[in-house]
Amino acid sequence: MADKSFNAFEMAQAQFDRVAGLLDLDEATRQLLRYNLREYHVSIPVRMDDGSHKVFRGFRVQHNDARGPAKGGIRFHPMETIDTVRALAMWMTWKCAVVDIPLGGGKGGVICDPHHLSMREQEQVCRGWVRQLSKNMGPLTDVPAPDVMTSAQHMLWMLDEFETIRGEKLPGFITGKPVGMGGSLGRTEATGFGVVFTIREALKELNIPPSETTASVQGFGNVAQYAIDLYQQIWGKVVCVSCWDQTDQTSYSFRKKNGIDLAELRGITDRFGGIDKAKAKELGYEILPGEAWLEQDVDILIPAALENQITAANVKKIGDRVKIIAEGANGPTSPEADAAIAKRKIFMIPDLLANAGGVTCSYFEQVQCNMNYFWEKDEVLGKLDVKMTSAFAAVSELAKKRGIYMRDAAYVIAVGRVARACKDRGWV
Ligand code: NAD
């Protein structure tokens, strides 16, 4: 969002154009899918704590709903732009389609910085956003969720406003709610565990036992920690993690060659996923520069922090031993780096597949809310494993059959499913 020269929507459209070529889509289908079906721009007046009034700008974009209600998060960010939201909505359509859940793609945003708003003011922004959009959203049309700088509490305020307007209980309107208030068990683990379900399947294909592998991870937040948790449960060894240091305003890597201790590192990590350097040193970790995570002599790399982290400038630093890259983050690999990785025949598990565990579990949350019956955590994670494993199998089989890169195969499946749904409905 911060880099003005980078337009996420142009990148998303360029990716789509490439896949449209591979699928040989007709012109009408291309015209339909390279733009969003609907987008709403709203103004949200809020009375601030000091008595003044402020107007916040917000958006909701519904990229495509041919396969089911639009689904996607709402972010609060001071630099939010409509083009970022448009791109993210399109990516949600493909992500839901690749894991074959009956949902389309949407995304929302409000230009604001929650750090500078009181809880009451944030609540007013949430309620105001829903008041402006309640006619255009709902459990059967468009279902929001948390995203950058929005939490379970924000979701609950939004749900409360929506139910007040509609005059009925509709917990399927929004996901990411607190457990006990319609949230699903297993959502916290879902994205990280989903990443490892796909790694496990890739290792099976490569005929490598997980216990003989090592990994290096960028990030130590929600996705990274749960990915490490499950990877260690299948006997993999993580030797390096990295994170952002708020005080120094730079990133560091933390290495222990005989394997990091997850519980120990969690114990010295703040809620933003920042590890305490001094304490890590005391515990015997080597403190290395931020980019060191990429240069480790490991079998698996898991970028799980930010977008645009493996680039033309550093892709050559990836060691010869690396066999798998599993993209926990959204868009961590630049197109140039991606081409170099494809050329080296590293097994890429692309973001839209690798990190789809989160949205899959959000779909489970909606299903449970609609039934008003909630599953145990093991049941949620078991169903997640089934979904992720079959999505992986479909993508990998197509990649082998057509001799194409895993990312292309994932896009071909996703875009193909959405195009088919549009055709079957008679839209194009
Ligand atoms: P998080 O905020 O919990 O953790 C982010 C981690 O990245 C932190 O440890 C932070 O210190 C680290 N980090 C930030 N900048 C860094 C840098 N320059 N170098 C190294 N580390 C850095 O976030 P998260 O929920 O774990 O999400 C991580 C990524 O996964 C994001 O791209 C997000 O969009 C994507 N994602 C998350 C989910 C989910 O369910 N949480 C689902 C799909 C995709």
Quick check: CB of 243 below 6 Å from ligand 1?
A: yes
Q: What is the pLDDT of residues 299-334, one digit of tens each?
A: 999 999 988 899 999 999 999 999 999 999 988 998
| Catalytic residue check, 169 | no
Amino acid at position 197, single letter: F
Of the two residues 218 and 11, the one the predictor is more confident about is 218
Nearest CA owner, ligand 1 atom 23: 221
- The per-residue pLDDT for 3 is 52
Q: Where are the domains of the chain?
A: 41-184, 188-349
Q: Is 72 left (phi over 0), alpha (psi -120 to 50) or beta?
A: left
4 has a pLDDT exceeding 90: no
Q: What is the pLDDT of residues 27-81, one digit of tens each?
A: 999 999 999 999 999 999 999 999 999 999 999 999 999 999 999 999 999 989 9
- The per-residue pLDDT for 2 is 44
d(CA 239, CA 245): 19
Asked whether 368 and 177 are in contact (CB, 8 A), the reply is: no
For the beta sheet containing 104-111, the strands, ordered from the edge strand earlier in sequence to the opposite edge, are 38-47, 53-64, 104-111, 70-77, 142-146
Task: Kindly give, in sequence order, each residue whose CB lies less than 8 Å from that of residue 310, ignoring residues fewer than 6 positions away.
Answer: 294, 303, 318, 325, 332, 333, 334, 337, 341
Nearest CA owner, ligand 1 atom 3: 221
Q: What is the pLDDT of residues 232-246, one digit of tens each?
A: 999 999 999 999 998
Q: What is the mean pLDDT of residues 154-180?
A: 96
d(CA 315, CA 117): 40
Angle at 187 between CA 182 and CA 193, to 5 degrees: 165
Fold identical between 41-184 and 188-349?
yes
- The per-residue pLDDT for 272 is 83
What are φ and ψ of residue 408, in 5° steps? -65, -40
CA of 343 to the centre of ligand 1 (A): 27
- The per-residue pLDDT for 5 is 65
Nearest CA owner, ligand 1 atom 1: 221
How sure is the predictor about 348, in pLDDT bands with cuts at 50, 70 and 90?
very high
Q: What is the pLDDT of residues 377-387, one digit of tens each?
A: 999 999 999 99
- The per-residue pLDDT for 418 is 98
CATH architecture of residue range(s) 41-184: 3-Layer(aba) Sandwich (3.40)
Q: Which of 184, 250, 94, 212 is nearest to 384 (CA)?
A: 184
Task: Report whether CATH 3.40.640.10 matches the domain 188-349.
Answer: no
pTM above threshold 0.85: yes
Quick check: CB of 218 below 6 Å from ligand 1?
A: yes
- The per-residue pLDDT for 301 is 98
Helices (H), 286-356: 335-343, 351-354
- Measured CA distances, 389 to 242, 333, 392 (Å): 28, 23, 5
Give residue for tokens 């880099």. 3
Mutation to probe ligand 1, out of 85, 222, 351, 380 (largest number of atoms < 8 A from CB): 222
Quick check: CB of 84 below 6 Å from ligand 1?
A: no
Give the nearest ligand 1 atom to 293 CA. Answer: 20
How sure is the predictor about 110, in pLDDT bands with cuts at 50, 70 and 90?
very high
Quick check: CB of 219 below 6 Å from ligand 1?
A: yes
For the beta sheet containing 347-349, the strands, ordered from the edge strand earlier in sequence to the opposite edge, are 286-289, 250-255, 237-245, 214-218, 300-303, 324-326, 347-349
